[in-house]
Amino acid sequence: MSTGGPLIVQSDKTLLLEVDHPDAQACRMAIAPFAELERSPEHVHTYRLTPLGLWNARAAGHDAEGVVDSLIKFSRYPVPHALLVDVAETMDRYGRLQLANDPTHGLVLRGLDRIVLVEVAKSKKLAGMLGARIDDETIVVHPSERGRLKQALLKLGWPAEDLAGYVDGEAHEISLAEDGWTLRSYQQEAVDGFWAGGSGVVVLPCGAGKTLVGAAAMATAKATTLILVTNTVAGRQWKRELVARTSLTEEEIGEYSGERKEIRAVTIATYQVLTSRKGGAFTHLDLFGARDWGLVIYDEVHLLPAPIFRFTADLQARRRLGLTATLVREDGREGDVFSLIGPKRYDAPWKDIEAQGWIAPAECVEVRVTLTDAERMAYAVTDSEERYRVAATARTKLPVVRALVNKHAGEQTLVIGGYIDQLHELGEYLDAPIVQGSTTNKERERLFDEFRAGNLRTLVISKVGNFSIDLPEAAVAIQVSGTFGSRQEEAQRLGRVLRPKADGRQAHFYTVVSRDTIDTEYAAHRQRFLAEQGYAYTIVDADDVLGPPLPQVD
């Protein structure tokens, strides 16, 4: 490519970033708050400007002038004027409508632009949500419609800024323990950003201490808190951290799960129990109204189930904190997170946190294996919807996985996959225990404790290992299969090995892929989010890296 900036800005809102350019990293950092990575091959990465990305940036404090300056600064060629105008006008749409509390009329929708207010008020999508018009700039809003109104306005292209405030909830004294630890600077910035906005999402890498951000938010709120987590093991990890890091005692923290139904000043509930049905009804959603909660925390908010979205629409007067390593949702419901939980309030690039020494540096390697003729034939004759399973679970991967485990003998290694039969095969092949969905919580915690203590070096784990398990000693992850091309899953799995190591050594993340199959296509899609964070994948051949040709598995 010719000399100049690393970025080519195109009129169709795509941004092409030359990866090998000396200013590529600085450019990536500059555009990450507002541009979404779409493709990340070896030399040129493709980003796209979207309204939601620009609105998230606006809500996080970035203005159109800063976005335009970044595009012009790093662009190799003149930036299309029409695109710059569109960026400015798109960002300007955020906040032209505001939700506020009127001392006389209660919740109201105000239009800083009267004509926009007239436009949305005529929309059938807002039918039943709006009340009487007070004046040319103000319309009464039914309090129960606060969340649904924000959803509808976002879909109309006029995201409202919610300034209606929050109830304090039931007071409960919570403070951070003073036992030789303090919040890291980025954690404090995340708490400050969240609190200034009232509600929203904090995006931090796995291993960067999202739980501590939650604890600090609780200490700021000093109120009863409902914490929603992915599973019981994650909930108990939250409880251990809160007891260790705050003034809370075990008696003040309740567990609301399939095993226990405790409602206390701080209650930790699983998404699974809240979305379970009996007779077609969600029987546990009344937990949201069981106490006068001052704060609701959504752990792993990118996994929030649809029923929780529906109930969250009624919780708009409560402060809401979403925690995640990535806002990517494979169901495309990022807009619902934006409107119902809140916009992104803080986002720390993974490589920034790594540079500060708070997460381990990681080597990402895609190991490609060649299927046997029999496996290739089985793949060729399989129906299209089953082809990924056939390619991902090929038995030719087994010796590769064992060779990788042996290569890192002595290090704590996780072997992660998405198909139970494959995991049982790997467990037997590696003589390693398995943690899967049917594993009891007691057995999971026993195996995790053995792994943390170093008594267990290799653990085979299903999708339950994608999130909210604290295994800081894990230094190697070997991924054999997954949820098709899920970017969020890739980020979560890498996160399992990013806890900083006591000796400062590097983490290793391997993906074992069957070449010439859809397995390689999904692998490329999965890697997009991490490529945006600055991680480079090395693609190697199994034979070249692991020695002589591997033996075939009968």
- pLDDT of residue 502 exceeding 80, the answer is no
DSSP 303: G
pLDDT in tens, 298-319: 998 887 887 888 788 888 889 9
Average pLDDT in the 201-219 region?
91
Phi, psi of 79 (to 5 degrees): -75, 130
DSSP-derived letter for residue 159 is P
Q: pLDDT category, 552, cuts 50, 70, 90?
A: low
pLDDT, tens only, 24-38: 989 988 998 899 877
Task: Check whether 42 has a pLDDT greater than 90.
Answer: no
- The residues with which 363 forms a beta bridge, in sequence order, are 508
Residue whose C-alpha is closest to residue 341's, from 97, 154, 67: 154
Is this model's pTM higher than 0.85 or not? no
Residue 34, C-beta contacts closer than 8 angstroms, at least 6 positions apart: 49, 53, 54, 56, 57, 62, 67
% of the chain with per-residue pLDDT over 90 = 56
Average pLDDT over residues 260-274: 91
**DSSP per-residue string spanning 124-151:** GGGTTTEEEEEETTEEEE-GGGHHHHHH
Tokens (6 digits) for 460: 């085979």
Helix/strand/coil percent split, the chain, to 5: 40, 20, 40
Helices (H), 246-372: 271-274, 306-312, 334-336, 350-355
**Please, which pLDDT band fits residue 476 given cuts at 50, 70 and 90?**
very high
Check whether 467 has a pLDDT greater than 70: no
Q: pLDDT by residue (tens digit) across 43-102?
A: 888 899 999 999 989 988 899 999 999 999 999 999 999 999 999 999 999 999 999 999
Span of 126-130, 196-200, 285-289, 329-333 with lowest mean pLDDT: 329-333
Percent of the chain residues topping a pLDDT of 70: 95
Higher per-residue confidence, 215 vs 314: 215
Is pLDDT of 172 > 50? yes
- 17 or 302: which carries more pLDDT confidence? 17
On the question of pLDDT at 185 being above 80, the answer is yes
Per-residue confidence (pLDDT) for residue 2, from 0 to 100:
43
How many beta carbons lie within 10 A of that of residue 176, not counting itself?
Answer: 17
Give domain 185-353's CATH architecture: 3-Layer(aba) Sandwich (3.40)
Q: How does pLDDT run across 351-403, given as a tens digit for each residue? A: 788 888 888 888 889 999 999 999 999 999 998 889 999 999 999 999 999 99
Mean pLDDT across the chain:
88
12-26, 92-106, 194-208, 350-364: segment of lowest average pLDDT? 350-364
CATH superfamily of 360-546: P-loop containing nucleotide triphosphate hydrolases (3.40.50.300)
**Higher per-residue pLDDT: 21 or 494:** 21
Note the pLDDT of residue 1. Answer: 40
Whole-angstrom distance between the N-terminal and C-terminal Cα of the chain? 49
In tens, the pLDDT along 110-156 reads: 999 999 999 999 999 998 899 999 999 999 999 889 999 999 999 99
Query: Which is more confidently placed, 469 or 535?
Result: 535
| Residue-level pLDDT at 50 | 94
Q: How far is CA 177 from CA 97, 216, 416, in A?
A: 41, 10, 35
- The reported pLDDT for the residue numbered 87 is 96
Return the top range by mean pLDDT from 301-315, 402-416, 473-487.
Answer: 402-416
| Confidence (pLDDT) at 545 | 60
